Amino acid sequence: MEKIRVGKLQRYKRRRPNLSEESERAGKATVCMKALLNRPWIEKEKDPQVYYWIKEQSERIREWFMYHTGFSLTINRKLAKLDKVPVVAFPWMGFQEFRGPLDYALFTYSLWYLESKTEGEQFLLTNLVKEIRAYMNEQEMGIDWQNYFQRLAMARALKKLKNMNIIQAVDGKEADWADRQVGNDVLYECSAYSRYVLRNFPRDLTSYETMEEMGKIPAAGDEQEEMNQVRRYRLYRRYLLEPVILDKVWKDDPLYFHGQKNYLIRQLKLMFGWEGSKYREGILFFEPEIGADSELFPALSSLSDLSMLVCAAIRHRVSNPNQEIKIEPELDGSVWITKSEIDRILIQLKGDYEKYWISDHRKIQSAALADLVCEHLLEWGFAQWEERGFLVLNAAAGRWQVQYGATELDE
């Protein structure tokens, strides 16, 4: 009979991940966070690597978004999706391919039609437009497929549904249907993604009277923690979904905002890799690495080049008093300027740099080009229109110093 040996229990040390593993995991998390923030969803079939990274770190990602923004993360066998809700809705947040409200209405009614379809089920375009027309007429929203422009709107809605992989065209093209070409019917196949497009609202959609109401974060009560939660959601949603946020936006809640500045910078650096810098006008975040998911300023559009040149010219006039046209900044660093003054600046810039411009910008009238530049600055949050017809450039627009050529700029 063997004797029982008495001794100390064997202690096993828990293996700790080394620094390289931690760095790799953090890098994967950053990729996932950016993908969720910038894409409608991540499909398992199209991007399996990012999909599985999200699944691996789902607990950490879900907790961060829920605590800081209130956004919910959905992961199923097909996709991973972050439900994003802006505090302020801007025109550029919509579908750039769409021309007007009818495009959005037909896109939404197409999703309504697809609710009754199962994954892989096929249907004809003629059946879809017939049911949509009947339903819209019941709602006293007349639609007439004899109208060429309304058919074009339907074609744009269907094209967007295809681009989002909500439906696939098996045979035919919606453009042929819009042009009424021979044999113009289209056979589509439904995917599983149609149920993940529309946002769920906390109350009946018809009860909202303004767009601002839709972005309002409801307070659960009057307790301090619940009030801080609403503040936190507003803070992070705006910095994550808008390109430029100025400190004056938080003038109604300055104590909370200023107490969160350093923490905000650390969190967005940790989770997204963004570099945040404090300026007089506010915190500006920069993306140190160019990625496929994010659209950054300056954008690839040549309008970004022109916009930066205009801002640099205005900055030069502000900082150099020996100019024929002197521009005085406001106390907050903003500059009030008319569109005609931007027009004159562009005429001067054209004389200096026309050879660098694309053909369209060389041929277009300066007034029309000024409209495009102003619109670009508005979209990126560097300016806003005032009632008296002035374009107000905020101080962030003056942070750019640019010129053509290979010469490095002095600090």
Greater confidence (193 vs 204) lies with: 193
pLDDT of 13: 46
DSSP at 246:
-
pLDDT of 8: 44
Greater confidence (323 vs 315) lies with: 315
- Cα angle, residue 369 at apex, residues 364 and 374 outer, rounded to 5°: 170
> Which pair of structure tokens corresponds to residue 21?
């593993």
Q: What is the distance in angstroms between the CA of the first residue and the CA of the last residue of the chain?
A: 85
pLDDT of 6: 44
- Which of 103, 149, 155 has its CA nearest to residue 128? 155
The amino acid at residue 207 is: S
pLDDT of 407: 55
How many percent of the chain have pLDDT more than 90? 53
Residue 378 has pLDDT above 70, yes or no: yes
Mean pLDDT of 294-318: 87
pLDDT of 167: 94
Task: Specify whether the CB–CB gap between 247 and 282 falls below 8 A.
Answer: yes
Residue 282 has pLDDT above 60, yes or no: yes
Mean pLDDT of 345-361: 90
CA distance 207 to 195: 23
CA distance 407 to 411: 13
CA distance 113 to 271: 39
Task: Specify whether the CB–CB gap between 341 and 335 falls below 8 A.
Answer: no
> Which pair of structure tokens corresponds to residue 54?
């999200």
Tell me the Cα Rg of the chain. Answer: 27
pLDDT per residue as tens digits for the range 46-73: 999 999 999 999 999 999 999 999 999 9
Task: Specify whether the CB–CB gap between 264 and 284 falls below 8 A.
Answer: no
Three-class SS state of 252: coil
Mean pLDDT of 300-329: 83
Task: Specify whether the CB–CB gap between 332 and 248 falls below 8 A.
Answer: yes
Mean pLDDT of 380-398: 89
CA distance 76 to 195: 12
DSSP at 249:
G
Mean pLDDT of 142-147: 89
**For residue 246, what are the contacts with CB-CB under 8 A and spacing of at least 6?**
281, 282, 394, 395, 396
Of the listed ranges 4-13, 95-104, 316-325, the one predicted with least confidence: 4-13
Residue 189 binned pLDDT confidence (cut-offs 50, 70, 90): very high
Q: How many CB atoms lie within 10 A of CB 128?
A: 20
Greater confidence (218 vs 336) lies with: 336
Mean pLDDT score of the chain, rounded to an integer? 86
Token pair 């104590």 in the structure block, residue: 255
CA distance 98 to 154: 10
How many percent of the chain have pLDDT more than 70? 90
Mean pLDDT of 159-164: 94
Residue 17 binned pLDDT confidence (cut-offs 50, 70, 90): low
Mean pLDDT of 352-358: 88
Burial class from Cβ neighbours inside 10 Å (0-12, 13-18, 19+) for residue 221 reads: exposed
- Which of 228, 221, 164, 215 has its CA nearest to residue 192? 164
Burial class from Cβ neighbours inside 10 Å (0-12, 13-18, 19+) for residue 147 reads: exposed
Strands 79-82 and 73-75: antiparallel
pLDDT of 121: 93
pLDDT of 205: 76
Residue 92 has pLDDT above 80, yes or no: yes
Q: What is the H or E stretch that residue 169 is in? A: strand 167-171
pLDDT of 274: 94
pLDDT of 12: 41
Token pair 């801002």 in the structure block, residue: 311
Mean pLDDT of 338-358: 90
Residue 42 has pLDDT above 90, yes or no: yes
**For residue 194, what are the contacts with CB-CB under 8 A and spacing of at least 6?**
111, 114, 115, 117, 166, 167
pLDDT of 2: 46
Residue 221 has pLDDT above 80, yes or no: no
Strands 390-393 and 335-338: antiparallel
Residue 215 binned pLDDT confidence (cut-offs 50, 70, 90): confident
Residue 1 binned pLDDT confidence (cut-offs 50, 70, 90): very low
CA distance 369 to 13: 68
